[in-house]
Chain A
């Protein structure tokens, strides 16, 4: 219980910290709205040619676009969440300060990232989504149950997303530099999460593979749950499994890193 309050405080701090970047938030809302509009027209053109691509109707494709814009910053799909700070702290040796604290490194950063995600959802994600809902026809459920299920998948998606980025950040203990890792995170994140095209629409064996990779837990699962395209329990199980595997891997790498690897700088 005592440590619950600690991580709650860390999450609140993460939320408040991102809340201080007002200009960045406003710019983000604008960008996500503009991108949403561009993508919607692209998708509509595509779905005109290929109706029911990936099993989605036009309204569903539109909904998918706006969900993507809403979750883009929330799930730090192209990076830029807690892992960015963590990489910097490892690189400069500032991590020393985190290590001598009586707190769990992974939980600490997870809590901070959840706080960040919540802020970016409310501050940056909701507005573009509302904009989309007002100006474009969407396929949104009218009962409450899918929305509740959606919230659960969102939480799990946040954890999976964090777990991927945490692992990536830890690599800086060995690489001493986060540039390459950040680029890899960005490309894999955008492509394998289905930011470009829903993963449902990927054909053949390639499609089969991308749909079971952990990135599928981020945007595809919440979207399918919200639009009733998949059984929520199947989605939870898929996400939870990846969360457990990736967090455990993170833990393993973390203990190797802190045992073997050296804290930089005097």
Chain B
């Protein structure tokens, strides 16, 4: 797939089951703070605190957590521009901080708040530079450029100096720049930050296609949970540098110990239904709202209601993950205090 001088299949550890591997990875920052005239206090910040996970080739993973959780720090270590303070980290079998340049040919990076594009020059100039920098064969460069320009709707922007682009246009320009050399993995640090609904939808659509059709592995951080809901089957939650959750999006509900709501329409007004562990939280005429643990099967509950009550119609409301995650963060904070 990637036309680089290193053949992935010959590399130890670069097999399909673990394309990205972190084992007890840590990053500790030494922060010096002035506390008075000539007085300085040294403090250590554990930005990433013993994180382990693996990502197989071709997966699209969401990496979320509150501000300062350590997401960007993790991505910087994955690209090799930060050296871990401890633990073991491999991408395609390569230690990123040791062989940053060799790895660079195989990865693409978009930092939503920064740009790789040449500020004062037309967008196309930046792409020509990528062509040289990644030594992309001419035919492939042209093919990739055409495809990206079409998919990301850039044709009208190629001659525009980057400083004149809007945020959404620039972001699309940056995403294209990160993909011209057919990277095997794409790291996106807040790719939808500051974009409007339409731009977000376009970027998401593009990423979905990229992952599905080219098999590009994607690791994405975001504060917009819709990004995750629409793109990622797997999500990792990090807080204070620790991995709090790693699994399917649906499973977050169990961990967050949240509730789903079953809305039932009965034939007539009745007293509150009794089907433990569900409990009625609201009654409005013949309609009743039953909250039940998200981990419980809705089917079983529905069957019981249907057997015991005159049921006309029903619907299940999933809790939105924002609530779930907020709850998770809050619980974590509580535990930290006590």
Contacts and interface: CB of A to CB of B under 8 A. Distances in A.
A43 B214 CA distance: 69
B2 to A, nearest CB: 13
B80 A100 contact: yes
A100 B79 contact: yes
B100 A266 contact: no
Contacts of A102: 101-102, 104-105, 133-134
Interface stretch (A10-18, A118-126, A200-208, A233-241): A10-18
A168 B95 CA distance: 31
Point out which of B101, B114, B125 has the most chain A C-beta atoms below 10 A from its C-beta.
B114
A224 B300 CA distance: 94
Interface in B103-144: 104-105, 107, 109, 111, 113-116, 118, 120-121, 125, 128-129, 132-135
A229 B60 CA distance: 68
A6 B133 contact: yes
A101 interface: yes
Interface string A43-83: 00000000000000000000000000000000000000000
A17 B29 contact: no
A101 B125 contact: no
Contacts of A100: 79-81, 100, 104, 107, 109
Interface string A247-263: 00000000000110011
B118 A103 contact: no
A97 B132 contact: no
Interface in A1-57: 2, 5-6, 9-10, 13, 16-17, 20
Contacts of B71: 266
Contacts of A2: 132, 135
A103 B129 CA distance: 11
Contact of A96 (B76, B102, B121, B132): B76
B72 interface: yes
Contacts of A103: 101, 133
A88 to B, nearest CB: 11
B83 interface: yes
A6 B129 contact: yes
A94 interface: yes
B131 to A, nearest CB: 8
Nearest to B69: A266
A261 to B, nearest CB: 10
Interface in B50-98: 68, 71-72, 76, 79-83
B-side interface mostly: mixed
B169 to A, nearest CB: 18
Contacts of A94: 114
Point out which of A13, A17, A20, A100 has the most chain B C-beta atoms below 10 A from its C-beta.
A100
Given A5-B132, A263-B76, A263-B82, A13 B114 contact: no
A99 interface: yes
Interface string B267-293: 000000000000000000000000000
Contacts of B161: 20
B72 A13 contact: no
Given A96-B76, A100-B100, A266-B113, A16 B121 contact: yes
A266 B72 contact: yes
Contacts of A146: none
Interface in B13-57: 29
A228 interface: no
Contact of B100 (A9, A16, A99, A262): A99
Interface in B156-170: 161
B181 to A, nearest CB: 9
Contacts of B134: 102
Contacts of A259: 83
Nearest to B108: A100
26 contacts: A6-B129, A9-B132, A16-B121, A17-B120, A20-B121, A20-B161, A96-B76, A96-B111, A96-B114, A97-B115, A97-B116, A100-B80, A100-B100, A101-B133, A102-B105, A102-B134, A103-B101, A103-B133, A258-B81, A259-B83, A262-B29, A262-B82, A265-B113, A266-B71, A266-B113, A266-B189
